[in-house]
Amino acid sequence: MKLEEHVPLAPLTTLGVGGEARFFVEAHTLQEVTDALDYARTHALPVFVLGGGSNIVIADSGFEGLVLHVCIAGITCEEREKGRVNVTAGAGVLWDDLVAYTVAHGFIGLECLSGIPGTVGGAVVANLGAYGAQCSDTFVSAEVLARDDETHTARVFTNGMCEFSYHDSMFGHMPGRYLVLEATFSLLTTGTSHLSYRDNRFDLAALAAKHGREPTPADVRAAILEMRAEKGVLASSYKSAGSFFHMPFVSSEMYAKTVAKAQILDSTKEERLRPWAWEQPDGAYKIAPGFLLEYTEFQKGYVRGAAGISPKHTLCIINIAGARASEIALLARAMQQAVENVFGIHLEREVEYVGAVEKEN
């Protein structure tokens, strides 16, 4: 294990803000992971597990503990039954490298999740999702280390044990307790998977018409990458941490109030932005936070000092040039406050703050 000190963390994140890690270990093997955890335990250091740094804001004062950068590599595949393959990837593999690998092999199941930054470990923790597909659709199991298990015995967590939900998992709601070492996905080798295309925002029929045949996973990947580039949600688009806020779920009464308020404020805008809410099986509504923000000053292209909002996506707070974490957090709080003032709806933060981000502003 190579223990480093005072390592700048901003370059290891997609937002590019924040200070240093007091201690830092880049772990490529299970042994390096356990050595780092032992070091942290012996020295009573808090640990932060870092993947691709695409869903976090690091405090300007950095992290006064040990940052364990999980870089476990490797992709393997094994045909379990005819027409299906299990693909296993190390937690440090870049998620999009895994997707590209499966698409190159003609496997079906991950192509809708193309172009999303971060690692395989981070994807499992966040139950990464886009265009109606989510990581848990094809996830079989993960090899996981419980941080408080001093015997360092890796355990297998199957899909049902991970408590996956919208953009969350058991690992996500117990941050730092478990460390994902590798994950396995079950993919189809023949046929067409319609399961992952259930979201009508991705028009598979139009793609089929364009190609004059059933789209291949490679066609779907290319279309998704193009769409993500247009929306500015590729890692290369802007320095951001992706969507800063979760989609709020509200009661049918609250939804009705929201429609009424939006129509009073600007009915043309309300009509133009439809659909902006989706009814759930339990009668609640899932609302696009970008729609709510459209009724505040926080629009696409908004600039406040060195921070701002992506010109292409209202939910992406961006680091325009040398922003500090405190500026990002202040802007996020102002956006939450504005939506609360107009609609009485609280936008929950999706992006995780690491270190003393909230105390710094």
- Residues of this chain that interact with ligand FAD (CB under 6 A) are 14, 48-56, 70, 91, 116-119, 121-123, 125-126, 128-130, 167, 171, 175, 178-180, 233, 235, 240-242, 352
| Of 146 and 342, CB closest to ligand FAD | 146
HSE (side-chain half, CA atoms, 13 Å) at 5:
0
Least CB distance from residue 104 to ligand FAD, whole Å?
Answer: 21
In whole angstroms, how close is the CB of 358 to ligand FAD at the nearest point? 16
Instruction: Tell me whether residue 29 or residue 189 sits nearer to ligand FAD (CB atom).
Output: 29
Per DSSP (E only), the strands in the chain are 3-8, 20-27, 47-50, 56-58, 63-70, 75-81, 84-90, 129-130, 133-134, 139-146, 155-158, 178-188, 240-243, 249-250, 277-279, 285-287, 303-304, 307-310, 313-319, 352-354
Instruction: Compare residues 149 and 352 and give the one whose CB is closer to ligand FAD.
Output: 352
Query: What is the closest distance, in whole angstroms, from the C-beta atom of residue 134 to ligand FAD in the complex?
Result: 8
Q: Which one is catalytic: 54, 196, 240, 243?
A: 243
Based on the residue annotation, tell me whether 26 is a catalytic residue of this protein: no
Half-sphere exposure of 1 (CA within 13 A, CB side): 21
Three-state secondary-structure class, residue 315: strand
Report which of 64, 59, 69 is spatially closest to residue 12, judged by C-alpha positions.
69
Which residue lies nearer to ligand FAD by CB, 77 or 247? 247
271 assigned to active site: no
Residue 346: half-sphere exposure toward Cβ, Cα within 13 Å: 2
Q: How far is the CB of 140 from ligand FAD (least distance, A)?
A: 17
Please return the burial class of 205, using the count of CB atoms within 10 Å of its CB with bins 0-12, 13-18 and 19+.
exposed
Provide the minimum distance between the beta carbon of 265 and ligand FAD in the complex, in angstroms, as a whole number.
Answer: 29
Instruction: Tell me if 247 sits within 8 A of 289, measured CB to CB.
Output: yes
Name the residue nearer to ligand FAD (CB basis): 59 or 180. Answer: 180
CA-nearest of 17, 21, 28, 19 to 4 is 21
Catalytic residues: 243, 350
